[in-house]
Structure 1
Amino acid sequence: MPERLKAKCQNLMTLLPANLYISPVGGGEAARLTKLHPPAFLERFIADSIARLARLGERPSGCSPPEFRVYLYIDPFRLCYLGWPADGAGGDRFMVAFGPFIVERLSAAELRYIAHRMKLGFDNCAMLESFFGIVPFFDRGALIKLACVFQDCFDAAPREPGIVTEDHSTDLPDEGISPEGKFTDRGFVEDNYKAEAKLLAAVERGDAEYVRSVLGSNARFINMPPRFPSDPLREIKNLSVTLNSISLRAAISGGLNPSVAHNMSHAFAVRIEQQTNAEAMGKLIFEIAVSYAEAVRKYALKGYSDLIVSAINYIRKNLTSPLSLKEIAEHLHISREHLCRQFNREARMSLTDFIHKSKIEESCPLLASRKYAIGDIALTFGYSSPSHYTKIFDKLMGMPPKRWQSMQK
């Protein structure tokens, strides 16, 4: 495709709410600039319509009066395409086609009739109706304005563009394009449910690494045709709101305290609303799912008895205190020995180790920030001296805090 023609088409895409196809008039594959994503079962029908529209440009220019320069092609689904023959370098001609769009509103019964007449099969009837709900609509006046936009872009002559209609809405499907059942489009739906189920299961079990591996390779891991093709920010915001809601429920199901989970959800909802570009939203989607998974891993209490849940919650609320075993047992109104035995049985670590582990993990972000002295951090978390904190840190992390701090980015 000539660079000048490509640049004009890219400029047009800033104004148009559907796709733009650029086809060599003499035959060849069409280039496509995409805003609207049709269901897969429609793709070959659309490609056939674009190819037929391109052949209209083969008419000798001397046989067509100037007003017959814009073509309105209506396919058997009553999807429409507006085409304009454009000259490229070296005498090559291209058909620039805009679509699909509709010029009449169709009822659900009419769409179902079309779907059955085109032998789509039962599954795709509802999908066709859904697609028609997002396809742009233009009345006759809007079509004239669109034709004028094409004329201004591709033809310097100051003349009123006319529209020639090629109506194929009553055509039946070619046997080679649409045998019954060939275009059943359920694969991406089933794949979406499987991908979502795996992601939510990972959040529920606190598997942050799996979540990172899925979203790190593709933030749009759910393969859905966009509902708002002309507004990618709104599209990804809607996906983010959904992910925030289902991740919240998965985290609570995984044992995360509901109050903590709902506070996270509220904070993410505010941040989603504040975002102003799609790239930042992609990063936030990643953060949402990973944060819920990490919260489950660190804070979930699923599977513990009420006694141990109460003990852990008390420890977490008092991490900045020295915290003795006697103090915790007295708070829970049981003996220290019974509490320690029960905790070791359920948590598979001693209560003392859990206290130190919780304090050290909570102190790590402060240490990594390099804003606070080790002595200040030690005192903040109830250690009697920096040396005591350093000894515990070395035991749990396998290195002293200074060395660990130097390894953080």
Structure 2
Amino acid sequence: MDKNSATHYADIIEATTKLDVHLFDDKAKLFYSKTGLVIPHFQNLPTGHHLLRSLKDYSITNCLHYRTAAQLEYLALRLGTDDSLFGACLVGPFLSQPISSSQIDQILVANQLTISDRHQLTQLYNELPILSKKDITQTSALLTNLFAKPFIPPKLVNTRTSQASMQTPISQRVNPIKQSLIERRYQMEADMMQAVSTGNLAKIDRFMTPLTEIVTSFSTRIPNAPLRSVKNISFVSNTLCRIAARNGGVNPVFIDSISEKFAVLIEKQNTVGALEHLTAAMLLEYTQLVHDTATTNFSPIIKRAIDFIMINLGHPVSLEVVATKLEANPAYLSRRFKQEVGMPMTDYINRQRIEEAKNALLTQPASIIDIALMTGFEDANYFTKVFKRFTGMTPSNFRKSHVAP
């Protein structure tokens, strides 16, 4: 096995599996890398030295499947022969099951990260392919069989085939009944997007049943492919909701995370019924996002201030930091923020952090100090003091009060 053959096989694996592929030589130096993912700096690839140490005692027919502390999964294969180590092939990362928001928070705590890193980590997990046990087994078989033999270049032979004439049928007049249904559907769509863009949870709830009917009505759009048809309309709904949320004043950073999550989930569904439920959940989540984070009613400078605070909530944030970022006078920004938001900026920052901490206390087994650090507090005593001011109880008592008897 030489580098040229290994590179050809890596190209085949990447094109066939759509997974990232990396090749290391016997000195642990990376000599091939093809990736479509942007891995956060705190989730770097396993090193070549680590791979070679892990593979040296295994046969070339053994494909290692391992999982990192951040739940990223890889397949690794020894290159060469059982007697001579040429290098290593690394395929991944991928997942074998979806990662929940609760698991992401656990990973943040375990890696001493903050909630400001949550978006980047969530975005990575949303982009990762999810492989079944069968997929992993078949990919392993592809790796071991390809690299066991020298590469043979293919010889392509072109042939000609007759191509049937494709004529576009003449458009037919839409009958009045169908026209009425189409107009009703478009009006309902406009009303739904208006509810999303205003964060109107009460109004959006009334659209759940009609939405299911709309989704189902598209199942015949592609002949003999109802699932593909409904997936297509679900993708369209995701795009419309994304635009509505942006029009509603939500920062693109928050929209992008939800948009990517639903794009992945839509493609994974295998029944029309599941897509109906997912589309309804998507509509509700976008509306909730606008309701919780929109800054439409604020002036441009306060919008920018709130967006900066929310994106950097897990990092040190203060009036001085925000003012410097916005190139604004601190006194003016402080006065304007309190006037528009109804509270001093420090109280707003602490309130948002406490809301994150409350959720973590109820969903994470992490210690109080770990949750304090994750949510941007540098001191556990100060965290407890602020938490008690906003909730009337200490973090420990809050957690205990929500434990089922």
TM-score, structure 2 normalization: 0.50
Q: Which has the larger radius of gyration?
A: 1
